[in-house]
């Protein structure tokens, strides 16, 4: 899935962090965000491609998609209720 809004309410730069830190930092950031807000996560950890969608499925947040930019990925997560 690569079609997602380019607008986000917050950006988490997790480039250089290895599993499980991108997910742990995303979870912490999402806690302080309002329902419906979109978090953009920048990560270059190869495991994030599996971990972030799995985190969204387990926590109930909406995984809006992922794309690659230069040497990292950009993930979009919408916080639910």
pLDDT tens figures, 10-66: 999 999 999 999 999 999 999 999 999 999 999 999 999 999 999 999 999 999 999
Count other Cβ atoms within 10 Å, centred on residue 40: 19
Beta partners for residue 41, in sequence order: 12, 75
User: Residues for the chain: how many in total?
Assistant: 81
pLDDT above 80 for 6? no
Q: Where are the domains of the chain?
A: 10-78
Quote the pTM value. 0.91
Per the rule left: phi > 0, alpha: psi between -120 and 50, beta: everything else, 46 is alpha
Could you give the residue numbers annotated as active site? 19
What kind of fold does domain 10-78 have according to CATH? Translation Initiation Factor IF3 (3.30.110)
Determine whether 15 is exposed, middle or buried from the number of CB atoms within 10 Å of its CB (0-12, 13-18, 19+).
Answer: middle
pLDDT above 80 for 2? no
pLDDT above 50 for 77? yes
Beta partners for residue 75, in sequence order: 41, 66
């Amino acid at each position: 899935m690569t079609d997602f809004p380019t607008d986000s309410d917050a950006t988490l730069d997790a480039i250089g962090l290895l599993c499980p830190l991108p997910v742990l930092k995303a979870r912490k950031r999402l806690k302080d965000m309002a329902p419906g807000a979109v978090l953009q996560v920048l990560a270059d950890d190869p495991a994030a491609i599996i971990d972030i969608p799995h985190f969204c499925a387990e926590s109930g947040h909406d995984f809006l998609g992922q794309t690659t930019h230069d040497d990292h990925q950009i993930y979009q997560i919408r916080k639910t209720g």
